[in-house]
A and B are shown apart, each in its own frame.
Chain A
Amino acid sequence: MQHRRGFWLFVGTALLIMAAYNLTPFFWMISSSFKTDIEVTSYPATLLPQAFTTAAYARIWDQEGFVLYFINSIKVSGGTAVLSAAVGIFAAYGFSRFRFQGRTALMAMLLITQMLPGVLLVGPYFKMLSLVDLYDTHLGLILAQTSITLPFTVWMLKGYIDTIPVEIDQAAMMDGATRFQSLIHCVFPNVLPGLVATTVFSFLLAWGDLLWALCLITTPEKQTMTLGITNLVGQFRVLWSDIMAATVIGCAIPAVFYLMLQRYLITGVAGAAVKG
């Protein structure tokens, strides 16, 4: 498709406005993370640090055990993302490609499970984990997060699989492929953009969770990043520069993951369909 120069100018400007909108709070975060404790709460507020200091990053790095929290968060979020994508794609394929008894009811049930707030569910879930001795473990936390991400994952993936022409799997099955093989070889490559979207979704959901991690994890060394950051809002002091510094790093990690994944967002259906 050929576009005129005006079109590109418009798209470029619009994208720059979007970037400015998205980055403004980050500007404030980064600027505050380099201020001293006193400057960060001074009035009138300064837009850029007057006395530039990296003390907050140093504190986050050595004192507070944040390196460990980041690793824990990557583990829990990664585990949640992988588990819900792996289980979700099968279920989504089933819901998209088959018409079976109870299909609509099951699909609806998936969403209904998400209508009760976590506040109520966390108590009984804790009891269950306690019975099987999984409480205070990352696995217990991953399972809890998966119960939230899985229904969303299935719905999203089903939407994407619906857009892939059924003829593609049928052609493969004519050639003797099983359902499973056709899912792996024909549907999977085409649904990659959707899979990226759902993986990012699951990862970020687990990344930002507070309630479940707060209730299920008691050992400080197993804490997640979000819990660690909220602990900086102490009884006696709110360490704003530390909060900002930890958040900046906390946002950079998923951003890097996403940077690696984003090129799969452009694996379009059309290209693969030609091959099929």
Chain B
Amino acid sequence: MPIFIDRRLNPKDKSLGNRQRFLKRAREELKRSIRDRIRTGKIADVDSEHAVSMPARGTGEPSFSDAKDSGRRQHILPGNKHFAPGDRVPKPGQGGGGSSPGKTVSEDDFRFVLSREEVLDLFFEDLELPDMVKLNLKEILAFKPRRAGFAATGSPTNINVGRTMRNSHGRRIALRRPKQEELDAIAEQLAILEAEPRSAAPVRQRIAALREELERLERRRKRIAYVDPVDIRFNRFDAQPVPNANAVMFCLMDVSGSMGEREKDLAKRFFVLLHLFLKRRYDRTEIVFIRHTHEAQEVDEETFFYNTQSGGTVVSTALEEMHRIIEQRYPSNEWNIYAAQASDGDNFVTDSERCIGLMDGQIMRLCQYFAYVEIIDERESHIFGTTDNGTSLWRAYSAVNQRWPNFQMSRIANAADIYPVFRQLFARQPAFQKSA
């Protein structure tokens, strides 16, 4: 009799720890591969699984092994069809000499899939992103009434009839309010007695007593109301916060010649990051890409990142385009509107005033959040530092920044600068403060 043990319910993923160790070991290489992928892929695709190829460095398991291209050896093979001793067989391929003519898959050359969490971990590591991206924060934006028991006060439309009548019934029983049947019975008795033509003295007495009784009961009925204000109950509603489930993200970017590959790459990371935040929070996120030179247009993601256009730089055109699209497609009571703008700060001289006007007048009212990043040269970052001096757009937006708390602006010179732009977005959340 063998012993049987059912192991199927044992904890799964026994090898998860080994997997994590392996990924840690291959970290640098995987990071580079993920970064390349994201540079060429779509923003919305970041937040998913990725297949990566086996990293070559750091994961080798060397051991002493024979060199295939040296020495003399023998292969004993089955299935001889027509060979005789002394026959010569050409070696397959170049340098493939030595190996027996069979195919083997190398264990060091294969692709495997990283989970979403692992991808994010690798991608954001050089941004030193704290765990808050992984927190699922709910932004409270709308309220929906939800039934929450009963109340003694309220508006007449909310009267709960069932509850009210039950209270009234109980009170009537408790205070012994005469019932209609009792009254009817006495009235009937009276009618019978009065109908008799000759009434004796006891009968008359009886009639008088009944009349008195009837009167007493009716008085009592009048004093004890059928439905009293104390009986009345109202349905109670609580306003329950409902996170607004839709968000739209506007990506605005200057695509004039001054924006090179590096600038676009940084801008893309910035957009990816905002998109990730939004995706964590909202059921549905849409992205609108608006590029501009001296005129703005809505384009698809491909065109946005990879097509260049020549022309001057008029930022207000992009803001106007964004406003037009909001009016048309994304009413601000249904959508949470986020905007991220990336630029090198160049703007047509007289246009900056107009931008301030647009922002103050229309856009900032509609937006949950507007983030502006100015992508500068790494050398410039030392010069500008934290001063308010800067490009014309920077100076213009500084004014906006003072008036609107949901406006955020920053200069970035490398990837690590991107994250702080979003810090404020989270700092505003009470939920975050609690968990921090």
| A is bound by B | no
